[in-house]
Chain A
Amino acid sequence: MTKQTFLHDKHVELGARMVDFAGWEMPVQYTSIIEEHKAVRNSVGIFDVSHMGEIIIRGEDSLPFLNKIVPQNIADLPTFKAIYCQLTNKNAGIIDDLIIYKLKENEYLIIANASRIDEDLNWMVRNKLGFNVDIINESHNYSLLAVQGPKACELLNHIGITSLPPFFSIKRDELFNINIWISRTGYTGEDGVEILVKNEFSEYLWDKLLELGKDFNIKPIGLGARDTLRLEAALHLYGNDLDENTTPIEAALSWSIPKDKKEEYNGKLVIENQLKNGINKKLIGFKMLDKSIARHGYDIYYDNNKIGIVTSGGFSPSRGDNIGLAYIKNLDNLSVGSTIQIMIRDKLHEAEIIKRPFVTKRNKVNN
């Protein structure tokens, strides 16, 4: 039985094509993925991402508990700030990637991937021994709307959010007399916000944003464009680019790992060892050198040897070419500019390793 968000009927009314995603019936597109993609790059789009999980960590040991389950240093996180984290197992494999927000002393909000909520909760409960914390799954009580694009903040100012939280921050606010948590985060590489609201107000908020967003050319955006947008921004998709057999170092997430964290955490030995001695596989970005498209699961070759696998791939509406993310053997001679080959339907096609992200991100603004 697939679950529906509280905005399900709105999507159907708007003519969306609905698909099953992580056990949820979600809109994949309303009109066209390319059109929706361009709306977010050029003006503003609204996404229903209510399938995402919300987990509250509360109690006097919240900080040491979180510090045990992620490699990041939660002690450095000020109130109302957000941090990108990975929930790691003992081998530093990634159980999920998360955004953790500090709401107040001893209270944190975790935004988790829909497909991973149960695994996350199980793992947290298994790690809870000795910590005085409550782990509360609030996923079924909240809807999450993302408003993303270069005009997103202008639109929010226009409808009554007078001061927006800075990049990677959250604040409590009111919109049309509805209590919301609004955070300056997203999954598109554009400026924008995500709005957390109690389920019963989500339809009203959705309608209002679409109606008042008309002057800003707002469009509802499905999961199809969400995927092309995040791929261009080289943001990982759990289940494609991240899994329990991949560490944050291999996944090119070293930037998110503090090198001086004193506390023990799950997978610390592996991460420290990989930082010191290197890794066997690494995440790279590539573009196809012909018109073919490399998809998830296609094999990568170099010098007639299989050296890796594509984890995400597709057409880039902003660039007009075909791009992807892949894991390859960490060979010294393979770096940006190198040519590799990808097996597509029994034929090898050339691709070039290129820099990530694939487009210039425009989300780090502070007004």
Chain B
Amino acid sequence: MNESMLCTKTHEYILEQDDKYLVGITDYAIEQLGDIVFIELPDIDTEFSKNEAFATIESVKAASEIYMPISGKVLEINEEIVNNPELLNDENYENKWFIKIQSDANQIEFADLLDYSDYKEEIE
């Protein structure tokens, strides 16, 4: 399932789904953040450029910003993870996305994204 997944060096991922993209953070990031107590997601229809902060995760320790792997417009937000951050421990990346976006990003925006195996190497 991770075949179409692309990751950033700052531990976000995108997963293509019917011409749209799910955006979330990797298990490595979730583990590093520790106890997550609150997730703040953007409003639907907000547009973000690549590398712009679109969400904030509050762990017990600190607030961390989450950045857009590619530019795009927010179509949906995952209310379930807001109501229950425990869901981030789900193994399936299709269930723990933060936002679903529509994107017109060109190839240049994808150039620095890593496929999952390269990302795995990066964090090891």
Give A contacts to B, CB under 8 Å. 28-29, 32-34, 224, 228, 291-293, 295, 314-315, 317, 322, 345
Contact A315 B62 (CB under 8 A): no
Contact B60 A314 (CB under 8 A): yes
List the A residue with the shortest CB-CB distance to B62.
A295
Q: How many A-B residue pairs have CB under 8 A?
A: 35
Query: DSSP class of A's interface residues: helix, strand, loop or mixed?
Result: mixed
Contact B60 A224 (CB under 8 A): yes
How far apart sit A293 and B63, CA to CA, in the bound complex (Å)?
A: 8
Binds A, one of B7-15, B20-28, B32-40: B32-40
Interface string of B78-98 (1 = CB under 8 A from A): 000000000000000000000
Chain B residues near A315: list those with CB within 8 A: 35, 37-38, 58, 60
Chain A residues near B35: list those with CB within 8 A: 32-34, 315
A34-B60, A314-B60, A345-B56 known; A292+B34 contact, CB < 8 A: no
Min distance, Cβ A96 to any Cβ of chain B, angstroms: 25
Contact A33 B34 (CB under 8 A): yes
Can you spell out 16 A-B residue pairs with CB atoms less than 8 angstroms apart? Answer: A28-B61, A34-B35, A34-B60, A224-B34, A224-B60, A224-B61, A292-B38, A293-B58, A295-B62, A295-B63, A315-B35, A315-B38, A315-B58, A317-B60, A322-B38, A345-B40
Contact B63 A33 (CB under 8 A): no
Min distance, Cβ A185 to any Cβ of chain B, angstroms: 25
A32-B35, A33-B34, A34-B35 known; A292+B60 contact, CB < 8 A: no
How far apart sit A271 and B63, CA to CA, in the bound complex (Å)?
A: 37
Min distance, Cβ B52 to any Cβ of chain A, angstroms: 13
Contact B40 A292 (CB under 8 A): yes
Contact B37 A293 (CB under 8 A): yes
Min distance, Cβ A223 to any Cβ of chain B, angstroms: 10
Min distance, Cβ B57 to any Cβ of chain A, angstroms: 10
Contact A291 B38 (CB under 8 A): yes
Min distance, Cβ A318 to any Cβ of chain B, angstroms: 12
Min distance, Cβ B20 to any Cβ of chain A, angstroms: 26
Min distance, Cβ B34 to any Cβ of chain A, angstroms: 6
Beyond A34-B35, A315-B60, 15 additional pairs, beta carbon < 8 A: A28-B61, A32-B35, A33-B61, A224-B60, A224-B61, A292-B40, A292-B58, A293-B37, A293-B38, A293-B58, A314-B60, A315-B35, A315-B58, A317-B60, A322-B38
How far apart sit A29 and B33, CA to CA, in the bound complex (Å)?
A: 11
Min distance, Cβ B42 to any Cβ of chain A, angstroms: 11
How far apart sit A317 and B56, CA to CA, in the bound complex (Å)?
A: 20
How far apart sit A260 and B76, CA to CA, in the bound complex (Å)?
A: 65
List the A residue with the shortest CB-CB distance to B37.
A315
List the B residue with the shortest CB-CB distance to A228.
B60
How far apart sit A80 and B13, CA to CA, in the bound complex (Å)?
A: 59
Min distance, Cβ B50 to any Cβ of chain A, angstroms: 20
How far apart sit A322 and B38, CA to CA, in the bound complex (Å)?
A: 10
Min distance, Cβ B95 to any Cβ of chain A, angstroms: 21
List the B residue with the shortest CB-CB distance to A33.
B60
Chain B residues near A314: list those with CB within 8 A: 60
How far apart sit A322 and B56, CA to CA, in the bound complex (Å)?
A: 16
Interface string of B45-64 (1 = CB under 8 A from A): 00000000000101011110
Chain B residues near A33: list those with CB within 8 A: 34-35, 60-61
List the B residue with the shortest CB-CB distance to A291.
B38
List the A residue with the shortest CB-CB distance to B56.
A345
Chain A residues near B37: list those with CB within 8 A: 293, 315, 322
Min distance, Cβ A348 to any Cβ of chain B, angstroms: 14
Chain A residues near B34: list those with CB within 8 A: 29, 32-33, 224
Chain A residues near B60: list those with CB within 8 A: 33-34, 224, 228, 314-315, 317
